[in-house]
Amino acid sequence: DAGVTQSPTHLIKTRGQQVTLRCSPKSGHDTVSWYQQALGQGPQFIFQYYEEEERQRGNFPDRFSGHQFPNYSSELNVNALLLGDSALYLCASSLNSDLDFYEQYFGPGTRLTVT
């Protein structure tokens, strides 16, 4: 049973650049959520995708955007990178049902460093 996968593992970008992170959900899951985790903090919710649409969004600027594909995989795009965007970006997958979609399983994460 394949778990959540993310790519790339690590990424170094320069301020002002754009980045795309990718995620494939756990087999059987149809919902993907993205979180940002700064050092020493808990994950912060960015947004969630279900049926190829953004269903819920956290307090992140429009520089953060995403997409979900018909195969349930997802991308996170960040434009005009700032130094403060340096963090671990986590993808979590879940199954959309009454309560199950709260049970979220994380991928290994992408460590983004902005210089």
Contact by Cβ (8 Å): 98, 80: no
Stretch that binds other proteins, among 20-28, 48-56, 65-73, 75-83 (CB under 8 A): 48-56
Interacting residue with other proteins among 29, 109, 112, 114 (CB under 8 A): 109
Q: Does 11 bind other proteins (CB under 8 A)?
A: no
Stretch that binds other proteins, among 19-27, 42-50, 66-74, 79-87 (CB under 8 A): 42-50
